Structure 1
Amino acid sequence: MSSLRRLSHALIIAASVGAFSSPANAQQPASMDTARIEQITGLKGTFSKQEGVFKVSKPRNDVKVQVDGSIMPPFMGLTSYAAFKPAHGSQVMMMGDTVVFEDEVNPVMSAALDAGLEVTALHNHFFFDQPKVYFMHIGGTGDAATLAEGVKKVYDRIAEVRSAHADPEKAFPGHIGDSSNISPAPLEAVFGSKGQTNNGMFKVVVGRTASMHGVTVGNEMGVNTWAAFAGTDDEAVVDGDFAMREDELQAVLKSMRASGINIVAIHQHMTGESPRILFLHYWGKGKAVDLAKGVKAALNAQAAITR
Structure 2
Amino acid sequence: MLRPRKLTQAAAAALVACAIAGQAGAQKHPAIDTAQIEQITGMKGAWSAKENVFKVSKPRNDVKVQVDEWAMPPFMGLTSWVAFTPAHHGQAMMMGDTVLFEDEVNPVMSAALDAGLEVTALHNHFFFDRPKVYFMHIAGTGDPAKLAEGVKQVYDKIAAIRAAHPTPESVFPGHIAEPSTITAAPLEAIFGSKGQTNNGMFKIVIGKPSSMHGVKIGNEMGVNTWAAFAGSDDEAVVDGDFAMRESELQPVLKGMRASGINIVAIHQHMAGEAPRILFLHYWGKGKAVDLAKGVKVALDAQAAAGQ
SS in 2 for 1:54: strand
Matched letter for residue 240 of structure 1:
G
Distance 1:90 1:46 in 2: 20
Give 2:190's aligned residue.
190
Give 1:227's aligned residue.
227
Whether 1:167 and 2:167 are equivalent positions in the alignment is yes
Aligned counterparts, 1:87-102, within 5 A: 87-102=87-102
Distance 1:270 1:107 in 2: 29
Aligned counterparts, 1:108-257, within 5 A: 108-257=108-257
Distance 1:233 1:42 in 2: 46
Give 1:306's aligned residue.
306
Query: Following TM superposition, by how much is the alpha carbon of 1:282 offset from its aligned partner in structure 2, in angstroms?
Result: 0.1
What per-residue deviation string (whole Å, max 9, x for no partner) do you get for residues 17-39 of structure 1? xxxxxxxxxxxx74311110001
Distance 2:231 2:304 in 1: 31
Query: Following TM superposition, by how much is the alpha carbon of 1:182 offset from its aligned partner in structure 2, in angstroms?
Result: 0.1
Distance 1:185 1:121 in 2: 35
Q: Kindly report structure 1 stretches of 4+ aligned residues shifted beyond 6 Å.
A: none
Query: Following TM superposition, by how much is the alpha carbon of 1:88 offset from its aligned partner in structure 2, in angstroms?
Result: 1.2
Residue segments in structure 2 that go unaligned for 5+ positions in a row: 1-28
Query: Following TM superposition, by how much is the alpha carbon of 1:87 offset from its aligned partner in structure 2, in angstroms?
Result: 1.1
Distance 2:289 2:42 in 1: 44
Contact 2:180 2:230 in 1 (8 A): yes
Residue segments in structure 1 that go unaligned for 5+ positions in a row: 1-28
Matched letter for residue 267 of structure 2:
H
Distance 2:70 2:42 in 1: 31
Give 1:268's aligned residue.
268
Distance 1:138 1:184 in 2: 37
SS in 1 for 2:116: coil
Matched letter for residue 117 of structure 2:
L
Matched letter for residue 247 of structure 2:
D
What is the count of residue pairs matched by the alignment?
279
Query: Following TM superposition, by how much is the alpha carbon of 1:256 offset from its aligned partner in structure 2, in angstroms?
Result: 0.2
Distance 2:267 2:133 in 1: 16
Task: Provide TM-score, normalisation by structure 2.
Answer: 0.90
Aligned counterparts, 1:45-84, within 5 A: 45-84=45-84
Distance 2:86 2:210 in 1: 35
Aligned counterparts, 1:274-293, within 5 A: 274-293=274-293
Distance 2:72 2:181 in 1: 44
Contact 2:178 2:232 in 1 (8 A): no
SS in 2 for 1:89: helix
Task: Provide TM-score, normalisation by structure 1.
Answer: 0.90
What per-residue deviation string (whole Å, max 9, x for no partner) do you get for residues 95-137 of structure 1? 0000000000000000000000000000000000000000000
Query: Following TM superposition, by how much is the alpha carbon of 1:179 offset from its aligned partner in structure 2, in angstroms?
Result: 1.1
Contact 2:30 2:90 in 1 (8 A): no
Query: Following TM superposition, by how much is the alpha carbon of 1:89 offset from its aligned partner in structure 2, in angstroms?
Result: 1.9
What per-residue deviation string (whole Å, max 9, x for no partner) do you get for residues 224-262 of structure 1? 000000000000000000000000000000000000000
Distance 1:271 1:279 in 2: 13
Matched letter for residue 199 of structure 1:
N
Comparing 269-278 and 176-185, the one that deviates more: 176-185
Query: Following TM superposition, by how much is the alpha carbon of 1:196 offset from its aligned partner in structure 2, in angstroms?
Result: 0.1
Distance 1:159 1:179 in 2: 38
Distance 2:176 2:233 in 1: 11
Whether 1:103 and 2:103 are equivalent positions in the alignment is yes
Query: Following TM superposition, by how much is the alpha carbon of 1:178 offset from its aligned partner in structure 2, in angstroms?
Result: 3.0
Distance 2:224 2:181 in 1: 25
Matched letter for residue 183 of structure 1:
T
Query: Following TM superposition, by how much is the alpha carbon of 1:177 offset from its aligned partner in structure 2, in angstroms?
Result: 2.4
Comparing 170-179 and 110-119, the one that deviates more: 170-179
What per-residue deviation string (whole Å, max 9, x for no partner) do you get for residues 121-177 of structure 1? 000000000000000000000000000000000000000110110000000000112
